Amino acid sequence: MSGPLLLHSLAEFREIIFDCLDVVAPRSLVEVGAEDGTFTVELLRWARDHGAAVYAVEPFPTPAITELAERWPELRLVEERSPGALEKLEGADIYLIDGDHNYVTVRAELEAIFDGGGDPPRLVFLHDVGWPSGRRDMYYDPDSLPPDAVHTHTHEKGVVPGNHGVVQGGFRGAGHFAWSRHEGGPENGVRTAVEDFLAAHGGELRFATVPCVFGLGAVYPASAPWAASVDDVLAPYADNGLLARLEDNRLLLYLTVIELQDHLAQASTVVDQARLERRDVDAENRALWARTAELEHLLDARVQDLETKLERLRGEMEHLARSRAFAVAEGISRARGVGGRADSHLSRRRLRELLEATRPS
């Protein structure tokens, strides 16, 4: 199986975007958030074939983007943050916004694009107008934003559909980005930024959304000469119920995969701990086995020593039992013990019985 598990790029909307490019016939395009340049290459091919220029706004370009800038004369790399970079660029025909997915950034980007006035009329595509960033800020670098524009957030916890807070697990950044701790409310999320911007422009701009792959939004002047043609391109996809249900199902399946991965990681942790404990037990057992072998060796040596001494003692006692001195002592013992207990006399027979009792059976 090839390809990403989770579709997440603007490139997934290529059919819609390039049909719109053919309608608008832009002379310049601005891409905010080029990532690894996968979609940038497609834009560059279109630009080369149509005599257009592409501006990639990327404050920290990857080596892949830098290489593209060296190989493609149609590409101008702008190594600045958006929206500041947009304020310095001349107005372009097409904008593709897929940078920081939070209210203050997106609102400022739209203001930089549309409020400067002048020609040409602009068509703006914005990614992540759907869940999870549509109504909830996401921050790559919250310290770079005005403090009063940043919601309380978390880098560790995740989000799931239907829960306006944050959860342990879920869709999360694992340290790469942070979520606002609450969903909804004023000045929170990409779609909220778009809607507030449109409300301030009194209906002069149109807004269409394609409800899949985290949501694609298109903002453009109703008065643009190509507006009706863009409407026709977007109409089959905009607010399409089937696409919305497929997106809900896609997110559910992906979150289920994340949950299973979390369970697997927990199980792996338990297994790793058990392996460490078994290793410790094995080490202790090896030490015990070594000590047992050592004690058995000492015991064998001790037993051998005692048996050697006992054998010598048997020899001495046997020699004593056969000696004339013992026979004399036995006779004297009997003479003195006449009338007493028989087992209190010295006796060669009793001595030999004791010797037999000490021999191995």
**For 257-266, what is each residue's pLDDT tens digit?**
989 988 887 8
**For 301-349, what is each residue's pLDDT tens digit?**
998 888 888 888 878 777 877 788 777 777 787 777 655 555 566 677 7
**For 11-45, what is each residue's pLDDT tens digit?**
999 999 999 999 999 999 999 998 889 999 999 99
Using an 8 Å Cβ cutoff, are 71 and 44 in contact?
no
Model pTM score: 0.76
- More confidently predicted of 352 and 241: 241
Q: What is the mean pLDDT of the chain?
A: 90
**For 91-139, what is each residue's pLDDT tens digit?**
899 999 999 999 999 999 999 999 866 677 899 999 999 999 999 999 9
Q: Going by CATH, does the domain composed of 10-135+184-239 fall within 3.40.50.970?
A: no
Using an 8 Å Cβ cutoff, are 172 and 179 in contact?
yes
Rounded CA-CA distance 260/46 in Å is 41
Which residues, in sequence order, are bridge partners of residue 139?
A: 178
Q: Quick one: pLDDT band at residue 81, thresholds 50, 70, 90?
A: very high
Pairing of strands 123-127, 28-32: unpaired
